[in-house]
A and B are shown apart, each in its own frame.
Chain A
Amino acid sequence: MDINPKVGIICCSGEEIPAGTVSRLAVRRVLEVLRPDRTVTLCLPLFLAGGEEEREFARRHPTISVDGCGKLCAKRGTEMYSGTVAVSLDVAEILGDQYPDLHRSTRQKSLDDKAAVWLVAERIAVEVDRLLGGDSPVTETSDQAATAGCACSQPAPAMNLEIHGQPVPVNGLAMIFEHLRDRGVAPTEDSGEALLETVRIYHPVPEEESGLYREALLRAYQHFWRMT
């Protein structure tokens, strides 16, 4: 029995449509930042190009498919060659028509592109927690690849907050700061609560340490604004 079960995520990466890029980036966000210790991935075309080891993927992991459009290639491909998916997500359905300015290339990242990736990534993270029993996110920074087969993405480097004089790593904090800055959250005292609530989604914060985290986050966010 696997004592450390991980959720498998397979995305379509559809090259013809912007939602394919969103599917790919959202999955990377989950692997690198949101749930690095609870998820693994595999390139969808490896089901055909690879061997039996790759085709065992969905039999070894409860699997979430993330598709850019209603053709659901990631879901169908996984079920044709590997096993039944536990959750099927359709990016086009999740986004609806609220983000019209999406691009296929990451060169032209618009605010809509960034917001869409966050929205889909957060939805995937919710499904990961649900499949693993609703536990809170793990805190440790993993140094293991969060993948199977040839895929080998690493968690995003953690930034440290100083809590009780000790460094506390928070995975993907710079990315969270970048997201908040793009949404117009200024580095003022008033933003402390918004910072805390956003980070709390991805990183467990003990209630009794909320004040310490709020202050540390604000200091780090102000530093981020000065440096970027």
Chain B
Amino acid sequence: MTEKVPKKLVVPCSGIGKVHGLLGREAMLELVERQHPGDFDTVCLALLVVGDPETNAKIQQQPCITVDGCPKACAKKNVELAGGTVEHALWVVGALKRHRGVNAGTGTALSDDGWEIAAEIAGDIAAGCPDAGKKE
């Protein structure tokens, strides 16, 4: 009998001001709803902000992948403050550097190119070695 591997938690910052936050959020949804629903899940970052005990416990028991849109690194910092282990910290800016000059959309809606970039970030996470999205 094989032991069930816990789902990895993908926690995006969902920053409201720029397209970067939406890219991270949609990349997470692409992964947990479409590409690999059996392998990845998410939690509300806001629940970590208020110290929700159930969410903190979940974060502490499952490996986490954070996706941040800006250098403030809200997702990474909040997961760490809640006692979670950040297995990979992705930076949307890193992914956008592979697409210089491309209009990815806005904080409200992604463009067609934006959807491709979100899918690419999801692919980076699924591949387990998201070097392309590393902070420089």
Chain B residues with a Cβ under 8 A of chain A = 11-18, 21-22, 25-26, 28-30, 33, 42-50, 52, 70, 72-75, 77-78, 81, 106-110, 115
Q: Which of A15, A50, A71, A105 contacts B52 (CB 8 A)?
A: A71
CA distance A171 to B85 in the complex (A): 44
Inter-subunit contact A48/B17 (CB<8 Å): no
13 pairs, A vs B, C-beta closer than 8 Å: A27-B16, A28-B16, A43-B14, A43-B15, A48-B74, A49-B74, A49-B78, A71-B47, A73-B44, A77-B49, A105-B30, A106-B22, A151-B18
CA distance A44 to B21 in the complex (A): 12
Q: Is A63 part of the binding interface, using a Cβ–Cβ cutoff of 8 Å?
A: no
Interface size (A, Cβ < 8 Å)?
40
Inter-subunit contact A76/B50 (CB<8 Å): yes
Q: Which of A29, A49, A151 contacts B77 (CB 8 A)?
A: A49
Q: Which of A73, A106, A150 contacts B15 (CB 8 A)?
A: A150
Further 7 A-B residue pairs, CB within 8 A, beyond A44-B45, A71-B47: A14-B47, A15-B12, A15-B43, A15-B45, A16-B44, A48-B78, A49-B77
Inter-subunit contact B28/A13 (CB<8 Å): no
Inter-subunit contact A14/B29 (CB<8 Å): no
CA distance A17 to B12 in the complex (A): 14
Inter-subunit contact B50/A43 (CB<8 Å): no
Chain A residues with CB under 8 Å of B81's CB are 48
Q: Which of A28, A29, A77 contacts B46 (CB 8 A)?
A: A77
Min CB distance A18 to B, Å, is: 11
Contact status of A45 and B13, CB under 8 A, knowing A15-B42, A74-B46: yes
CA distance A68 to B115 in the complex (A): 24
Q: Is A47 part of the binding interface, using a Cβ–Cβ cutoff of 8 Å?
A: yes
- Among B50, B109, B115, the one with the most A-chain Cβ atoms within 10 Å of its Cβ is B50
- Closest A residue to B68 by beta carbon equals A49
Min CB distance B112 to A, Å, is: 11
Min CB distance B108 to A, Å, is: 5
Chain B residues with CB under 8 Å of A28's CB are 16, 107-108
Min CB distance B63 to A, Å, is: 17
Q: Is A102 part of the binding interface, using a Cβ–Cβ cutoff of 8 Å?
A: no
Inter-subunit contact A106/B74 (CB<8 Å): no
CA distance A153 to B22 in the complex (A): 12
